[in-house]
Structure 1
Amino acid sequence: MSNRGDQKDILASAQVVEQILDRVLPRWRTEIPESRVNRWCRHREAAQRAEAVLERDAEVRARLGG
């Protein structure tokens, strides 16, 4: 796995992404293990999970009656 972009840009984006993840998946930092391969793998997995949560929210509410 490799990163795309300048390290400065990645760090700036991570700041915003982490705030979104904290709101959508409050326990992402403890539930998703850190990667030994790439420092950003945990962020990527959390972002994929958060995207699914946001995209499927209406379906989940409908199926659970909320």
Structure 2
Amino acid sequence: MNQVFMNIIANAIDAIDEATIQGKMNARVPKIKITTQINSDRQIVIQIADNGIGIPKSIKQRLFEAMF
């Protein structure tokens, strides 16, 4: 599980770096936000968000394809 979180955070850093390179951050402060909570079903919920460049629509449609 540690490797999963490390990869997600590394991707967030890359997205912020790419947005900065492309000049799309403007005056925004780069952010990676990690929140945790326990929901009503007593499940742990972990959310990771960044304000980087985002994923192109053409790639979003294929994210869950095997071997993509």
Higher share in helix:
1
TM-score (structure 1 length as normaliser): 0.35
Higher share in strand:
2
TM-score (structure 2 length as normaliser): 0.35
